[in-house]
Amino acid sequence: MKSALIFALIAFAIALVIAPFLLKFLRKLKAGQQVLHYVELHKQKSGTPTMGGIIFILPMIILAGFVINRDTPLALIAVLASMGYALVGFLDDFIKIKFKKNQGLRAYQKIIAQGGIAILVSIFYFMANLDGRILIPFLNTYWDIGWVILPLTFIVLIATTNSVNLTDGLDGLAGMVSLIYLIFISFLIALTANFMNLAESNTFIALAAITCGGLVCFLIFNTNKAKVFMGDTGSLYLGSIIATLSMFSFLGFYILILGVMFVVSAVSDIVQVAYFKKTGGKRVFLMAPFHHHLEMRGWSEAKIVFLYCAVTVVAGTACVIFLV
């Protein structure tokens, strides 16, 4: 744990050096986010630089080589997969900037890219975990689900990356919730380290710490009022690192609990779209995902972020208590 904290501090320092230069470059490039026309409350944010996720991704690129070795193949896959998703997000952001519109990659292009990465990750993980071992929350029992782990890994990767992406709708929201998630998942990995490769578990904690260090720096520039957005570059990276570290630690089901606010974002969006189509235009929420519904009800961004963080802390605390 001490080495993980050191890596977090180093990642923070690297990000702190990178951030001012990146922000200056993005402004010069006029890499501003074009806010969707129907998000009236966010009109003033149009033009805010995006792709700020690079601030916490670069420390990982620089430091990953110091924590990954031959004994930690799954950690390598986690990093490579997350960089792959970050690249998909980067292309999406770049197209938005290049053509000055909010739509980047087309939906089918995103699905193909994300699905391709998820398939590769699922196959590699199944080869490393043929028993399909996974921990059942609160029962503290490991189940061996065999080949089912393969489609489950695929679903978790796709669902988590897109859920984090949907949560990235307010200043500091996705970043803060992801930071809290990664802190708690590190504790859970440490508590269950005896049931997996010790070198692998220590490396997972180090990778989470590196991301946390970079995220803390990013949030300095992203909390209300944000000077930069993480963009799909950052949100897809965070979703992937959360999904892979959780799954590879046999803790995949904990995403439903510890990542409850990501689940709320995804479910509220799905329910809204499905109900809208079924009823010919009626809505369940004033706006989806749920954080926008709260905004429309008059909640401030700071209050919504606090709520999401508080719920995540409570969920994480419950997970730790029941696992000890």
Per-residue pLDDT of the chain (324 residues; tens, 9 = 90+): 788 999 999 999 999 999 999 999 988 877 666 655 555 666 667 678 889 999 999 999 999 999 999 889 999 999 999 999 999 999 999 988 887 766 778 888 999 999 999 999 999 999 999 999 999 999 989 999 999 999 999 999 999 999 999 999 899 999 999 999 999 999 999 999 888 888 899 999 999 999 999 999 999 999 888 899 999 999 999 999 999 999 999 999 999 999 999 999 999 999 999 999 999 889 999 999 999 999 999 999 999 999 999 999 999 999 999 987
Kindly report the backbone phi and psi dihedral angles of residue 35, in degrees, each rounded to the nearest multiple of 5, phi listed first: -75, 140
- For residues 59 and 214, the answer to whether their CB atoms sit within 8 Å is yes
Cis omega (within 30 of 0) on the bond before 278? no
List the chain domain ranges.
2-256
pTM (two decimals):
0.94
Helical axes 231-248 vs 54-67, angle rounded to 10°: 40
Lookup: tokens for 212: 């946390």
